[in-house]
């Protein structure tokens, strides 16, 4: 994914595995998360960045996040279990309802992503996958317009 499309949004954080953009100036409750590299539980930076992203969701009242997984590498089963047991429940607790995912580039990472986004394990967070940013963005805007009217 060409990250230049994200430059118009306010960058909240950039780390080794995560870049977070706050889109609320244009679309309230929308964010972009870029997830990259090889996730390992023994890597404290990875764990810290995952918790930081939860704090971001809480602080900015994020309801929908476009998650760019194009730079993702293989995700091991222990990391998948940690995400399903920790990240998704906490993201949902703090208001996240949609993770509009942009697919990974590598075929192996695509398989990992499919397992990560298994809606049977992501709780109340819906995880549709999109081929490009514009489709994910349009979906999130429509969802937020309807969701925030409730």
Domain ranges, ordered by start, for the chain: 8-143
Residue 104 dihedral angles phi and psi, to the nearest 5°: -70, 155
For residue 150, what pLDDT band results from cuts at 50, 70 and 90?
A: low
Fold annotation for 8-143: Transcription Regulator spoIIAA (3.30.750)
The pair of three-digit structure tokens given for residue 137, joined into one six-digit string: 């963005």
Reported as a single tens digit per residue, the pLDDT across 16-69 is 999 999 999 999 999 999 998 888 889 899 999 999 999 999 999 999 999 999
| pLDDT averaged over every residue in the chain | 93
Residue 103 dihedral angles phi and psi, to the nearest 5°: -65, 155
pLDDT at residue 63, rounded to an integer:
98
What is the DSSP code (8-state) at residue 96?
Answer: -
pLDDT at residue 137, rounded to an integer:
98
Q: Reduced to 3 states, what is the DSSP secondary structure of residue 16? A: coil
């Amino acid at each position: 994914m060409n990250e230049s499309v994200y430059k118009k949004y306010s960058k909240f954080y950039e780390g080794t595995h995560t870049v977070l953009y706050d889109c609320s100036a244009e679309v309230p409750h929308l964010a972009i998360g870029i997830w990259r590299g090889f996730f390992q539980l023994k890597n404290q930076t990875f764990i810290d960045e995952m918790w930081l992203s939860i704090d971001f969701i809480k602080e900015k009242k994020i309801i929908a996040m476009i998650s760019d997984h194009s730079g993702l590498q293989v995700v091991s089963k222990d990391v998948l279990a940690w995400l399903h047991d920790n990240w998704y429940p906490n993201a949902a607790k703090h208001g996240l309802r949609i993770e509009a995912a942009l697919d990974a580039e590598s075929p192996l990472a695509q398989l990992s992503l499919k397992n990560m986004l298994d809606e049977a394990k992501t709780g109340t967070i819906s995880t549709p996958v999109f081929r490009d940013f514009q489709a994910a963005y349009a979906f999130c805007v429509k969802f937020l317009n309807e969701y925030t009217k409730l």
